[in-house]
Chain A
Amino acid sequence: MEVTFKIKRFNPETDTEPYWQEYQVDVEPKERVLDALLHIKRTMDGTLTLRFSCAHGVCGSDGMVINGINRLACQILMQDLPTGPVKIEPLKGFQVIKDLIVDFDPFFDHLETVKPYLINDELPPSRERQQSVKERDRFDETTKCILCGICTTACPSFWANGEYLGPAAFVNAHRFIFDSRDKGAQERLEILNDKDGVWRCHTIFNCTDACPREINVTQAIAELKNAITFQQF
């Protein structure tokens, strides 16, 4: 089927302003949006620039705004889009480097702020630490995060304030705070209780709606707020 792609382009080497460029593409209904974009790049316009790698939603490279919604281009099939032109834009809230490429360095800086690694200075046993199935389940949801940035760049609070740590950082804080093996909850919760922490979340649910791993991000943030308020984790 013939589809029109309207892609937001910007190359700082040659452009002063972003602009929209249209491409007519013949696609199969079962093709991914990523396949169509690669078809454009590889047969029509080699200057079109985007990130991609695994092509099945596990590496988190190809986040972009598709028809106004944050998506991974490899996770959306052409047949799942409404008829009419497909509008493609870079993720919002990060600086655009070129076309659909945004600067992810601030995203990873924010992630690092919440100490997203196991903190436990006790000498471990010679075998694995014990963890019950129930304890493991407690944080299963947030282990799924692939750090694609889709939630953070869907968040109006983040658009308004780039210093806001954002949902992805919270998800990864949650993953450790509720891990029975971890001892760093207190120090992380202090970070999350700061002015750029969880209280800037206004439960808009954009993050949860957008998450390609179907993580209930808003729920996780609510649990962090509770943990701060009631000192329970």
Chain B
Amino acid sequence: MSALSLNRPADDPRIAGRASPRRATRRASDQLFAAVPALWLFVFFIAPLGFTVAFSFGHADFGGVRLGFTLDNYAKALSGFYLEAFLRTIRFAVTGCALCLAVAYPTAYFIARHAGRFRQVALLLVLVPYFTSFLIRVMSWQILLARGGPIEAVLNTLHLHVGPLDVLDTQTAVFIGLVYAYLPIAIIPLYVVLERIPATLVEASRDLGASSWQTFVHVILPLSRPGIATTVLLTGVPMLGELVIPSLLGGDKGVLMGQAISSQYIDSQNYALGSAMAVLVLLAIAVMVALLARLTRGFAEVSA
């Protein structure tokens, strides 16, 4: 999973695997520390996902699933309304993730390289939303974006907009919500890589005659690639299953996969079809991870 690592040099297996005088007890504790979490996560995470995969090949009976092997569910999930929802979801995740990156990068850049001694505070401020209820924040966007709501008033006062604001229950509102919800988690990995770029590299680039823009494009941007990859991973991938934001801000048009899957389970009780759609989302994730791994290839070696 090279796309995911933040490239800490101490991960070097040569350091981590060193022999010790008390090998036996040490080995016992090491195995225990690995086995307990692995077992727990296997039971409450991997096994359930396995059930989903198994059910996705099952036959849908009224309200139940007969196990077996059929691709009917996938055929259904990849046609008509559901295919549209799948493609729309991918489009939303890609766009939402790109927007998030565009907003987060300058923010992280400012915190890492310009905030000086206020760096910690600047980072903390960005994380405060995590300590409040996610749902209430999304509900507050409903208030903010509503016709006759606060944002309309502000925009009209600033003469940036005239008349009533028709944003709520549109795609735009969903994008605002997505960027909003994922922004903090997008900023952190970018901050981590940007903060680690040595000032000497930037100085060297200047001394060699590069303008600050050239330094940014040819030195800083390429070096922040692992952070960009991690950000894409932590924002774009979960967006593929986003449920609450499109339901609350997007109105009833343009259902996304998260909503489609959830309604198969909760309303239609068609577990087989719901499972097939969930597996499609997992496949889309696998493709995204593979692409990101390519993007950061070579970085693990460089930092070690």
Tell me whether A and B are bound partners. no
Chain B residues packing against A (C-beta within 8 Å): none
Chain A residues packing against B (C-beta within 8 Å): none
